[in-house]
Structure 1
Amino acid sequence: MALPHESQGVFEGENIPVHYTGIGKVNAALTAMDVIHKTKCKVIINLGTAGSSKFKTHDLVEVSSFVQRDMDITPLGFKVGETPFDPIPGVIDLIPYFSELPHGVCSTGDNFETGTPRLPCDLVDMEGYAIAKVCRKMGVQLISLKYITDGADHNAHNDWAANLLPGAKKLLTFYKKMIASEDGAPA
């Protein structure tokens, strides 16, 4: 998760360790790399909040792809979201985990989006693409669930804060399902 605000203490209350990235792509990339190096993990589970003009507030969405909305080298002939001369693409597809959840394309950028993103997407965040890029580079699977806290509009900052606790509870429920199914117990 990006911030302790997003867990609202519910994960800690269940003695579930959480790695907080901090806000933005650089912080997220550094934390993802650090976690992978220290734990030698094969899977990272990215849980967090997002805004969306497509999904309803309180929906839980599994990210099917990440794009980065603030990489713009168009004056040099590159597409928005494409990092020049980078072997990792501007669109990073993930392997679906939950069939019962809706899936969507998440646009990541170092801004709190309150308008129409420049790249087609279903939801917006500030860290996901960076985590996905590190995972792709390091050969680690990424599963990303986002709780929709707001409509990515003019009132997004108020809605985000008001919807953190129900989001944390819903994310915890699906985290427990994921862990139970990995342990061989019924989900």
Structure 2
Amino acid sequence: MSEQKSLLVFAHADEAVAFADVEHLVSGVGKINASVALAGAIADGNIKNVIVLGTAGVVGHAGEDRPSLDTIYQVTKLIQHDFPLPSADVDPTGEVLLDDYQVTMATGDVFVSDDQQRAHVLGLGASLVDMEGYAYASVCQRFNVPLQIFKIPSDYADDSASIDEWDEIAKQKSVQLREFYDKHLV
């Protein structure tokens, strides 16, 4: 039997540009793509844990008026923001590394880029918003695989956020994620 390995996951190839020399999975954007790709990788592989690195919109963080776009946060609770029926919160079960930067993240299949959407997500108690986290956590929970999610904000998830600029921003954030990975996760 082969040795179990960690699976490094990104939603989008632009988030992974600084990781060309590291084995990883790019799941694709959105909850369905994330679910299918991660479930397939876990089912096919000998995975001991999953580490997700990527970008997210930031809507707020305790004690911060305008959160930094250069802080890496560890997601310790996930909720859905685009589902009309109540859904259970999902908590990643991997080791907590960032005691001072733990956050709740809301996931939905929409790029949050206006003040009304942002206010809705903030009202749910989330600090970050993405399009895959809840799906990753649900799949890992189903397969009983520990999960850690680390996100760096790409935008403020408000009227200033532009999906047109996101690709270039994500490539820049990939470099910051690589520095974090090399320091804390290798």
Taking structure 2 as the reference length, the TM-score comes to: 0.80
What secondary structure is seen at the aligned counterpart in 2 of 1:105? strand
Q: Give the paired residue count.
A: 163
What secondary structure is seen at the aligned counterpart in 1 of 2:14? helix
Q: Which residue type is aligned with residue 65 of structure 1?
A: K
Asked if 1:4 corresponds to 2:13, the answer is yes
Residue 24 of structure 1 deviates from its aligned partner by 0.4
What secondary structure is seen at the aligned counterpart in 1 of 2:137? helix
Q: 2:82 aligns with which of 62, 67, 70?
A: 70
Q: Which residue type is aligned with residue 15 of structure 2?
A: E
8 A contact 2:74–2:98 mirrored in 1 = no
Taking structure 1 as the reference length, the TM-score comes to: 0.80
Q: 1:100 to 1:171 in 2, by over 3 A?
A: farther
Residue 99 of structure 1 deviates from its aligned partner by 3.0
Asked if 1:107 corresponds to 2:106, the answer is yes
Percent identity reads 29
Tell me the alpha carbon deviations over residues 102-147 of structure 1, each in whole angstroms, 9 at most, x when there is no partner: 1100000001112222622000000000000000010000000001
Tell me the alpha carbon deviations over residues 60-104 of structure 1, each in whole angstroms, 9 at most, x when there is no partner: 11101111111212xxxxx3xx1xxxxxxx211224431365110
In structure 1, the residue matched to 2:145 is: 140
Name the Cα RMSD after superposition: 1.8
Distance 2:167 2:33 in 1: 21
Residue 58 of structure 1 deviates from its aligned partner by 1.8
Residue 17 of structure 1 deviates from its aligned partner by 1.6
Q: 1:99 to 1:57 in 2, by over 3 A?
A: closer
Q: Which residue type is aligned with residue 105 of structure 1?
A: T
8 A contact 2:59–2:126 mirrored in 1 = no
Q: 1:154 aligns with which of 159, 166, 181?
A: 159
Q: 5+ unaligned residues in a row in structure 1: which ranges?
A: 74-78, 83-89, 181-187
